[in-house]
């Protein structure tokens, strides 16, 4: 990700079982629970976009699309 996008994007992993994540990400965790999404959940800018599996090609496409949107806005 860093090779392709430099400082424009980053991937972070959060273990939802930790107190820190439960405290700092309550809104998105509530949304995940309320909508019945399955872990693992990929979240971009606070919005769940994929659930049930991690797909690096899909994540890269989503990041690319988000950056294109930003650049054309």
* Residue whose C-alpha is closest to residue 42's, from 30, 29, 53: 53
Model confidence over 34-54: pLDDT tens digits? 999 999 999 999 999 999 999
Per-residue model confidence (pLDDT) at position 43: 96
Per-residue model confidence (pLDDT) at position 67: 95
Q: Are 50 and 58 in contact (CB under 8 A)?
A: yes
* Residue whose C-alpha is closest to residue 61's, from 50, 72, 52, 53: 50
d(CA 24, CA 64) in angstroms, rounded, equals 26
Entry pTM:
0.86
Q: Give the confidence band of 20 by pLDDT, cuts at 50, 70, 90.
A: very high
Q: Are 45 and 63 in contact (CB under 8 A)?
A: no
Per-residue model confidence (pLDDT) at position 73: 81
| pLDDT exceeds cutoff 90 at 1 | no
């Amino acid at each position: 990700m860093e090779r392709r996008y430099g400082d424009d994007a980053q991937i972070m992993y959060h273990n939802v079982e930790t107190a820190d994540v439960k405290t700092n990400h309550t809104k998105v965790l509530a949304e995940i629970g309320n909508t019945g999404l399955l872990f693992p959940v990929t979240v971009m800018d606070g919005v769940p976009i994929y659930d049930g599996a991690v797909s690096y090609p899909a994540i890269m496409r989503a990041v690319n699309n988000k950056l294109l949107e930003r650049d054309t806005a």
